[in-house]
Amino acid sequence: MLKIGHRGAMGYAPENTLDSFAKALELGVDGIELDVHLCRSGETVVIHDSRVDRTTNGQGKVREMTLGELKDLDAGNGNPILTLEEVLDFVDRRALIDIELKAKGTAGPVAAMIRQYLESRGWKPDLFLITSFDHHELKRCHELIPYIPFGPLLAAKPLDYARIAQAMEANRIMPFFEFLDENFVQDAHQKGIKVITWTVNRFDDIKEVLAMGVDGIISNYPDRLFGFN
């Protein structure tokens, strides 16, 4: 069962920061989840929201700011906003990287960067996972790098369980844990699709989804995932 830290280990450090990713690695995670947007100067930056207001001391839309302007902001406890490349270099194959595409246009740059790390930096395809609520952007990324695992994020229970992932030829599906049940997991497994659920923080909820047979859990407190299996 994959143990994945949400935005690093955001229960213990500011989300999507070097401190958060370092904490996740310290806790021994199998994977680190992060979010990406494009900024005005073209770089792929690691931040959850389309605006910087909630997570930094600044204001404005990420896509309207240059990397230099973003780097001047404090993302919490003195941490800067990071580029995807900076995170990959820091993690350096010590954990799987779950990249959530947060905005239109992220598929191409993310695919290009992943190819670079596969071809010249010794990474393997199974060290990446691409996810998104924007299933069109996710499909575009899959078409560019079809050998990388990917899965649609779901915020509600679909009528046909894992049919969405099957229709996309996805090998993962990423449902919100509150809409998950044993039938969903069994249906996905019968279709050859793994189930990774988010964001599960309470011990009782962790035990419940584990009993359903999920293949991975994303948590703000990834250390809570240890000791169950």
**Is the model's pLDDT at 158 over the cut of 80?**
yes
CB contact at 8 A, 135 and 159: no
In the annotation, is 6 catalytic? yes
Per-residue pLDDT band for 229 (boundaries 50, 70, 90) equals low
Q: Which of 37, 48, 136, 189 is catalytic?
A: 48
Average pLDDT score, the chain:
97
pLDDT digits (tens, 9 = 90+) for 50-104: 999 999 999 999 999 999 999 999 999 999 999 999 999 999 999 999 999 999 9
Render 39-103 in DSSP notation, one character per residue: -TTS-EEE-SSSBSTTTSS--SBGGGS-HHHHHTS--STTPPPEEHHHHHHHHTTSSEEEEEE-S
Q: Which of 6, 135, 142, 189 is catalytic?
A: 6
CA atoms within 13 A on the CB side of 91: 34
pLDDT digits (tens, 9 = 90+) for 111-151: 999 999 999 999 999 999 999 999 999 999 999 999 999 99
**Mean pLDDT value across residues 15-19:** 99
> What pLDDT is attached to residue 219?
98
What the block records as the tokens of 184 is: 């969903």
Question: Given the structure tokens 């194959």, which residue do they identify?
Answer: 93
CA atoms within 13 A on the CB side of 72: 7
CA angle 81, 133, 203 (to 5 degrees): 80
Is the pTM higher than 0.85? The answer reads yes
| CA quadruple 68, 98, 102, 147: dihedral, nearest 10 | 110
What the block records as the tokens of 8 is: 């690093």
**Mean pLDDT value across residues 150-163:** 92
**Is the model's pLDDT at 191 over the cut of 90?**
yes
> What pLDDT is attached to residue 115?
98
CA angle 204, 30, 139 (to 5 degrees): 95
In the annotation, is 48 catalytic? yes
Question: How far apart (Å, rounded) are the C-alpha atoms in residues 150 and 142?
Answer: 7
> What pLDDT is attached to residue 227?
81
pLDDT digits (tens, 9 = 90+) for 27-53: 999 999 999 999 999 999 999 999 999
**Is the model's pLDDT at 228 over the cut of 80?**
no
